[in-house]
Amino acid sequence: MTDAVRGEVVVAAEIAAPGRFIVSARANHLVSDSRPAEGEAIHAGELLLAALASCALANIENRAAETGFAGVRVTATASHTRHEDDPTYYRRTLLEIGIEGAGDPDGWALVDNFVATCPIYNTVRRGSGIEVVLNGGTRPVAAGPASGGGHGDHEQ
């Protein structure tokens, strides 16, 4: 493996057994299974969702502390659905964020900061689109940018 360049993230993976992989990032290692192998370890698509949820939590928690909402409790649930006719991409990705300890206007401000700065979110958004829900509700239409579609020809 080569030395990482500033801003570059390097993750390596190797086959441990048929359908089972060891994924390494820095000094951290985890087991991943292929979806068809039906193993109990996390699958690649779930790793993508975990990255999205983790980025949301870290970003919102940090921004909340910076803006005087250090006591908020943040949860994130990410899901996706494969396209029925073309299983090579996800037709829909949904990120459900719960924020306790800040009202919806402040919650949406925290979400807006997340969507403006998270490379994982923006990569998914530009590819197939992504929907964000805060505290069980969608953003009021006039409220701003925390949703984003991908290519116009993809079903949302």
Tally of domains in the chain: 2
Q: Exposure pattern of 84-123 as b/e (b: 16+ CB <10 Å)?
A: eeeeeebbbbebbbebeebeeebbbbbbbbbbeebebbee
Residue 155 lies in a domain: no
For residue 137, the model assigns a pLDDT of: 86
Indicate which CATH number applies to the domain containing 90.
Answer: 3.30.300.20
Encode pLDDT of 108-141 as tens digits: 999 999 999 999 999 999 887 888 999 888 877 5
Instruction: Report d(CA 93, CA 80) in Å as an integer.
Output: 4
Reduced to 3 states, what is the DSSP secondary structure of residue 17?
strand
Residue 89 lies in a domain: yes
Same domain, 52 and 110: yes
Instruction: Report d(CA 30, CA 3) in Å as an integer.
Output: 21
Same domain, 34 and 67: no
Length of the chain: 156
Residue 12 lies in a domain: yes
When pLDDT is cut at 50, 70 and 90, the band that residue 9 belongs to is confident
Q: What is the largest CA-CA distance in the chain?
A: 52
Residue 95 has pLDDT above 50, yes or no: yes
What is the average pLDDT across 61-76?
A: 94
Residue 117 lies in a domain: yes
Residue 67 lies in domain: 44-143
Q: What phi, psi does 3 have (nearest 5°)?
A: -70, 140
Closest CA to 108 of 70, 138, 129: 138
For residue 50, the model assigns a pLDDT of: 97
Same domain, 58 and 133: yes
93 close to 124: Cβ distance less than 8 angstroms: yes
Same domain, 37 and 51: no
